[in-house]
């Protein structure tokens, strides 16, 4: 995975990309929730910059096959922990956690991979999750 400066807009965008792709693919409802929440604007991200970071994240996943979990393009736990560790500011963590929850619940289905990601962020960042609307589902 490429390195971004801690608490940078790129590091924050990658956490959102990680969340969007946690269930194995991009979902229009999740992208729409990101737009409705105006989270990118609050983070100081232009849509073009966010799209670039998502593309770079996908490229990194493909290039780092040794770090993937199973056959899905999903980073192993230690990679996720390293990406989460790039976010150090407590306010940025809280903002991202809120955005992650919105993304995960947007399509009405919370997959085990999404739930695990959110739980990992909560634990690593020392935060408490807010209520979500979806139900965990097995894929």
| CA 88 – CA 7 distance, rounded (Å) | 6
CATH no. of 9-136: 1.10.3680
pLDDT in tens, 45-97: 999 999 999 999 988 888 775 555 555 667 778 889 999 999 999 999 999 99
Q: Where does the pLDDT of residue 25 fall: very low under 50, low under 70, confident under 90, or very high at 90 and above? A: confident
Mean pLDDT across the stretch 96-122?
93
In b/e form, how buried is each residue of 58-96, taking b as 16+ CB within 10 angstroms? eebbeeeeebeeeeebbbeeebbeebbebbeeeebbebb
How many helical (H) and strand (E) elements, i.e. helices and strands, does the chain have? 7, 2
Q: Quick one: pLDDT at residue 43?
A: 95
Q: Quick one: pLDDT at residue 65?
A: 56
Mean pLDDT across the stretch 34-54?
94
Q: Range with the lowest mean pLDDT among 24-28, 32-36, 101-105, 113-117?
A: 24-28
Residue 5 has pLDDT above 70, yes or no: yes
Q: Quick one: pLDDT at residue 24?
A: 81
Task: Please report, for the chain, the start and end positions of each structural domain, with discontinuous segments joined by +.
Answer: 9-136
Percent of the chain exceeding pLDDT 90 equals 65
Q: Quick one: pLDDT at residue 78?
A: 86
Percent of the chain exceeding pLDDT 70 equals 86
Residue 139 has pLDDT above 80, yes or no: no
Q: What mean pLDDT is reported for the chain?
A: 86
> Which strand (E) or helix (H) includes residue 110?
strand 109-110
């Amino acid at each position: 995975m490429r390195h971004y400066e801690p608490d940078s807009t790129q590091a924050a965008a990658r956490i959102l990309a990680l969340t969007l792709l946690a269930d194995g693919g991009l979902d229009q409802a999740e992208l729409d929730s990101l737009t409705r929440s105006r989270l990118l604007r609050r983070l100081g991200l232009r849509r073009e910059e966010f799209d670039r970071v998502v593309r770079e994240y996908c490229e990194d996943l493909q290039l780092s096959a040794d770090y993937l979990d199973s056959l899905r393009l999903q980073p192993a736990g230690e990679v996720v922990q390293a990406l989460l560790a790039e976010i150090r500011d407590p306010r940025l963590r809280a903002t991202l956690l809120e955005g992650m929850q919105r993304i995960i619940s947007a399509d009405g289905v919370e997959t085990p991979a999404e739930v695990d990601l959110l739980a990992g962020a909560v634990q690593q960042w020392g935060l408490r999750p807010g209520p979500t609307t979806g139900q965990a589902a097995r894929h």
